A and B are shown apart, each in its own frame.
Chain A
């Protein structure tokens, strides 16, 4: 291992280093001084994020083509790092709570392992590495979902996650085995040239592979686990699941579709057309009925995944740029919404929308943050979500899918309805006993501030979009 290969694998290696370091540091803290480990872990991860951005990004392959990286992959990993950093900051209050004493370090180690898995997945050069990364990303997540050992729902969430993940991996591996059978290789480069032809076994292989991935991104009809897991898991884990896990899976799926299945683009465009339409519609219609904020955001995130597919269907540079850009915006907006929900949940234990009635009277700043985050998710300017959605629609229209764009914008209107229901609860509805005023701690406020700044800056600063476009254009 020389410096060059270190640079190529820096995200994974540094994270592994940090995870091991935390194990080591833990020895020096007894149970009572356990809190002190939190700022250490966060600062280590912050340094990791900064280094990830600053070091030059080269492209290259390792392990005989199993590991492949380039500017695009590094950009994706950086985007995920930013998201994880916000999640960590938002989790501090919860980690300090009484029931979590003595297992804070586990939280960091498990979470970082999941992130390492995602990084490997994004950098995979063949299906073996891809599968390894995927499992490394999924199994720790189940442990995290079941993190609150005293709660039945949390345990249930963990079991549901691991079972559905196992099932989806099985389905996907079946698809991969067919691909191997047809092309005789598991390397992406070989497959992209050998995987051609008309409908037949290759269509079946593609569908199985896509179905497996659809589980991970929770596309309809493979979304059934999502709401239960999101509701049962601790709210910080839910935000990680809905933003980071989903983002990583979207990234690798678009890389594979764009590069490996390039030659059968017509085939997967049909597949995505149908899935996108169903996912957006079902996700939205179910979200309307939800009263628990976590379930509500779960269905909203299903619908958002449907919108992301609009970028994927284009199969071109505009689409790839729009996907990365949207995921970046989605991280800030969704974590903004989750951040407020987390703060309220930690302070009062309230997690349903009717309990938010009259929140603006007592906690105006939290309500405003929530409103702007929801507007960003709904795609209302001037917050960044508008730009993200607009470019996704543009990407789909670039290939002439005007009716799909129409379905999507109608769905955006439906989604506005239920986001406005929350806004209505906070601003318009009266409540004799609203959630009392509470002062959030430093970390919560910092987390929300980052989200707000992100939502306002990313949209108007076209440089970010141009940078992503520039990176995408190189592949």
Chain B
């Protein structure tokens, strides 16, 4: 019985506990307790992982392997390396903050928290799985509650956005499924049983024609969730309509499922195809990065600004993954963590500000800094991290990505890297514009003067996220060493393929 099982069991127990209680208040209290336990488990996991890593050189730690469907050789196989550990901790922090950010949900609160936590259990399951079947199972569990969450508790054109988001993500999973069964039936070229085991498939050499066939399916499939251009259109609508906690979880964690899956499944299992066909996706991700940034500049709705900024930042993750060296991979993982925290922070703050001013249009607000100092300072800190200021997590991540990307020789890579680099400047434009118009200056509406600053639960939510941003920014080497350790064998594999 591996420690990792707890990450799925605790959310499930929380859901069951909510199911069997009545009363509006209990649901949020139970969720808060459950997710606090989850957060403690997550932090403990880092230290347990580091301690175990010193004595155990195996690629995956805390593994547990149970045979599930014998005749198809499907296993319940779980385990983590540093990448999954950091993703799990990210999820713990974001869901913890998310529960506190939705403290004021009073329409069907039980159903809300049940859906939210079911979703998170899918995400945790996805990150611990090493068997493609279980991974896919958890992936779908993570996607479908989104429809109900946005449809019932969303705002604006919620029914349209919810349907669009669900159908686009499910089309993504349709592509993934074809890729998965393709991998399965090519996992035993020398006879023997087929397998869904990620580690086993990584060892076999899949015929190159098959790799070329499967790679686009898998990369695009995960790319849909990672907001790869032109499959990103669900993201602005979805995020804008979703309730606060759902936007947080979605931008903060679910989009990382895309990046993580594209890396761990599409890239690592099909290395030759990744080197040969990578250029197509490098072009698409470059467009994502630039297009997302420009999109954010012209938007006036806070949520749309952040949604487009997510497209840009997640594009950077996919771009870094395609650059095929250790520095860039390291940057990709750091960017996933950094963007996850930052984006969750933004969406939390936007939700809190919107709850008070009842508008998300930046033109209609002004001087918020005077009225809500705590929320505004948090927003500025998040903004600084987002534009990559040293001392924050964003800097470390982007530095790694662009250094890694520039290590690739060849004009094509250089040009794409340079174009993507420009997004840093554009990011500064839209972040500073929002800060200037909305937070600084005179208060535009008389009634805004009477608004209150953050409540205790909102302080917990935003405070956790800001603290994480700062911690990562101040001790980046510690984190990047931990991750880098797990990336060495993967980077070596690609080095061997390229030469």
Q: Which of B69, B136, B151 contacts A465 (CB 8 A)?
A: B69
Q: Which of A380, A398, A406 contacts B185 (CB 8 A)?
A: A398
Indicate whether B170 reaches chain A with its CB closer than 8 angstroms: yes
Assuming A462-B69, A462-B70, is B174 touching A413 (CB within 8 A)? yes
As a 0/1 sequence over residues 432 to 460 of chain B, the CB contacts with chain A under 8 angstroms (1 = contact) are: 00000000000000000000000000000
Indicate whether A386 reaches chain B with its CB closer than 8 angstroms: yes
Indicate whether B104 reaches chain A with its CB closer than 8 angstroms: no
As a 0/1 sequence over residues 173 to 205 of chain B, the CB contacts with chain A under 8 angstroms (1 = contact) are: 111011001101100000000000000000000
CA distance A460 to B140 in the complex (A): 15
| Complex interface: chain A residues within 8 A of B136 (CB) | 390
Contact between B178 and A406, CB atoms less than 8 A apart: yes
Contact between B174 and A406, CB atoms less than 8 A apart: yes
| Complex interface: chain A residues within 8 A of B166 (CB) | 416, 420
CA distance A412 to B217 in the complex (A): 16
Contact between B144 and A380, CB atoms less than 8 A apart: yes
| Complex interface: chain A residues within 8 A of B283 (CB) | none
Assuming A381-B137, A381-B140, A391-B72, is B174 touching A424 (CB within 8 A)? no
As a 0/1 sequence over residues 121 to 156 of chain B, the CB contacts with chain A under 8 angstroms (1 = contact) are: 000000000000100110011001001100110000
Contact between A424 and B151, CB atoms less than 8 A apart: yes
Least CB separation from A459: chain B residue? B137
Least CB separation from B67: chain A residue? A462
For window 404-428 of A, CB contacts with B under 8 Å fall at 405-406, 409-410, 412-413, 416-417, 420, 423-424, 427-428
Count of B interface residues, CB-CB < 8 Å: 34
| Complex interface: chain A residues within 8 A of B163 (CB) | 417, 420, 424
Contact between A409 and B167, CB atoms less than 8 A apart: no
| Complex interface: chain B residues within 8 A of A417 (CB) | 163, 167
Q: Which of B152, B171, B182 contacts A397 (CB 8 A)?
A: B182
For window 284-343 of B, CB contacts with A under 8 Å fall at none
Indicate whether A6 reaches chain B with its CB closer than 8 angstroms: no
CB of A373 to closest CB in B, whole Å: 14
Count of A interface residues, CB-CB < 8 Å: 32
CB of A398 to closest CB in B, whole Å: 6
Main secondary structure of the interface of B (DSSP, over half): helix
| Complex interface: chain B residues within 8 A of A442 (CB) | none
Indicate whether B68 reaches chain A with its CB closer than 8 angstroms: yes
Indicate whether B71 reaches chain A with its CB closer than 8 angstroms: yes
Contact between A469 and B174, CB atoms less than 8 A apart: no
Indicate whether B3 reaches chain A with its CB closer than 8 angstroms: no
Least CB separation from B121: chain A residue? A382
Contact between A397 and B167, CB atoms less than 8 A apart: no
Contact between A416 and B167, CB atoms less than 8 A apart: yes
CB of A302 to closest CB in B, whole Å: 20
Least CB separation from B194: chain A residue? A398
Contact between A412 and B151, CB atoms less than 8 A apart: no
Contact between B177 and A466, CB atoms less than 8 A apart: no
CA distance A423 to B163 in the complex (A): 11
Assuming A394-B181, A420-B163, is B174 touching A386 (CB within 8 A)? no
CB of B113 to closest CB in A, whole Å: 16
Q: Which of B151, B173, B174, B185 contacts A427 (CB 8 A)?
A: B151
CA distance A71 to B158 in the complex (A): 52
Indicate whether B213 reaches chain A with its CB closer than 8 angstroms: yes
CA distance A159 to B163 in the complex (A): 40
| Complex interface: chain A residues within 8 A of B147 (CB) | 420, 423
Contact between A413 and B152, CB atoms less than 8 A apart: no
CA distance A413 to B178 in the complex (A): 13
Assuming A409-B177, A416-B166, is B71 touching A465 (CB within 8 A)? yes
Least CB separation from A395: chain B residue? B181
| Complex interface: chain B residues within 8 A of A412 (CB) | 170, 174
As a 0/1 sequence over residues 365 to 393 of chain A, the CB contacts with chain B under 8 angstroms (1 = contact) are: 00000000001000011100010001101
Indicate whether A402 reaches chain B with its CB closer than 8 angstroms: yes
Contact between A410 and B174, CB atoms less than 8 A apart: yes
Contact between B69 and A397, CB atoms less than 8 A apart: no
CA distance A413 to B177 in the complex (A): 12
Contact between A413 and B171, CB atoms less than 8 A apart: yes
CB of A333 to closest CB in B, whole Å: 15
Q: Which of A318, A375, A410 contacts B144 (CB 8 A)?
A: A375
Most chain-A Cβ atoms within 10 A of its Cβ — which of B152, B173, B177? Answer: B177
| Complex interface: chain A residues within 8 A of B184 (CB) | 394, 397
CA distance A391 to B159 in the complex (A): 32
Q: Which of B70, B74, B170, B185 contacts A416 (CB 8 A)?
A: B170
Least CB separation from A415: chain B residue? B170
20 new A-B contacts at CB < 8 Å, known A391-B72, A400-B185, A405-B177 = A375-B144, A380-B140, A381-B137, A390-B133, A394-B72, A397-B184, A402-B181, A402-B213, A405-B181, A406-B175, A409-B175, A412-B170, A413-B170, A413-B174, A420-B166, A424-B159, A427-B151, A462-B74, A466-B71, A469-B71
20 A-B residue pairs with Cβ-Cβ distance under 8 Å, sorted by A, are A382-B137, A382-B141, A390-B136, A393-B177, A397-B184, A405-B178, A406-B217, A409-B177, A409-B178, A410-B171, A410-B174, A412-B174, A413-B167, A413-B170, A416-B170, A417-B167, A420-B147, A423-B147, A428-B152, A428-B159
Residues of chain B having any CB pair with chain A under 8 Å: 68-72, 74, 133, 136-137, 140-141, 144, 147-148, 151-152, 158-159, 163, 166-167, 170-171, 173-175, 177-178, 181-182, 184-185, 213, 217
Residues of chain A having any CB pair with chain B under 8 Å: 318, 321, 375, 380-382, 386, 390-391, 393-394, 397-398, 400, 402, 405-406, 409-410, 412-413, 416-417, 420, 423-424, 427-428, 462, 465-466, 469
9 closest Cβ pairs, A-B complex: A409-B174, A397-B181, A469-B71, A428-B151, A413-B170, A462-B69, A381-B137, A406-B178, A409-B177
